[in-house]
Amino acid sequence: MSQPAISRHIANLEERNGAKLFDRSRTGVRLTEAGRRFHTGVAPALGMISKAASEIATASTGERVVIACSDPASHYLLRPRHNALREALGERSQIQPVIFHRYSRNLPLDPVADVVLDWESTIGAEDRVVLFREAVRPVCSPEFAATHSDTLDGPVSGWDGLTFLEPGGTGGSWASWKDWFQAAGHPEPESRFMSFDNYVYSLEAAVEGQGIALGWRNFVDRHLETGALVALGDGYVESDNHFCGALTEQGRVRPIARMCLSFLERSAFLHEDA
């Protein structure tokens, strides 16, 4: 949901209850005393509703596992492994990805997630397994590489003036163009940066020949395998960050969730430089 939509829902809720539920300040949003009492009262009922809905869905369609992850993780990591995961969990199993926006740090309430996939800085250490280490390298379309071959075949210091595609949320706990240029021994160039809110969009823009994207290992592999993108530079630059999977409180008591996480841990993620 968008922030304005959430604000409207909160305003309607406060109006219906005749009480202020949140205190808002420059440092954040906190529950008022009335808000805490209201949450204490309704949370068990909402939990019962969610549990009943889950039980009905399970009884009618087979056992379901809910995986909370980002849109890029769903698109590039889960989708290619969907059939193999479903086969590992059983033919009647249901795999439901739900989009988890890491900036909010709040998991979806409905459906309740069993497994969370994200960078280790976001999820807790309990029941966490490392899936792969973060590694990035520049990628672009074959057409873009051919058009700018003289520049790209030269040193990175000569790449000034090219267009670089920036994934959404740079400046967080994952790698950025600045990190890559520092690893390449060249300060961030005075180049044109085109920003995108979604990493999937930045890669698709690279496929269309709009510029050079930062390719994350295991996310960009299929584009490289099909030739839609070509790799630039001398290889992947690794960081100390890791992409992980973890069980939620609900997932810890569900065998199918543990099976799902074990499958992902054994999955064919690349761990070595390519």
Q: What is the set of domains in the chain, with CATH numbers?
A: 1-61 (1.10.10.10), 133-240 (3.40.190.10)
Long-range contacts formed by 122-130: CB under 8 A, 24+ apart: 122/173, 123/244, 123/246, 124/246, 126/246, 126/247, 127/246, 127/247, 127/251, 127/252, 127/261, 128/244, 128/245, 128/246, 129/244, 129/245, 129/246, 129/261, 129/264, 129/265, 130/242, 130/243, 130/244
Model confidence pLDDT, tens digit, residues 161-217: 899 998 865 444 578 888 888 887 777 666 688 988 788 999 999 999 999 999 999
Q: Is 233 helix (H, G, I), strand (E, B) or coil?
A: coil
Q: pLDDT confidence of 258, banded at 50, 70, 90?
A: very high
Q: Among residues 163, 165, 149, 243, which one has the least CA distance to residue 204?
A: 165
Q: Which two tokens stand for residue 113?
A: 């997630």
pLDDT at 20: 93
Residue 262 — very low, low, confident or very high, per pLDDT cuts 50/70/90? Answer: very high
Q: Residue 123's pLDDT band (boundaries 50, 70, 90)?
A: confident
Rounded Cα–Cα distance for residues 238 and 170 (Å)? 16
Reduced to 3 states, what is the DSSP secondary structure of residue 216?
A: strand
**Cis peptide bond N-terminal to 111, omega within 30:** yes
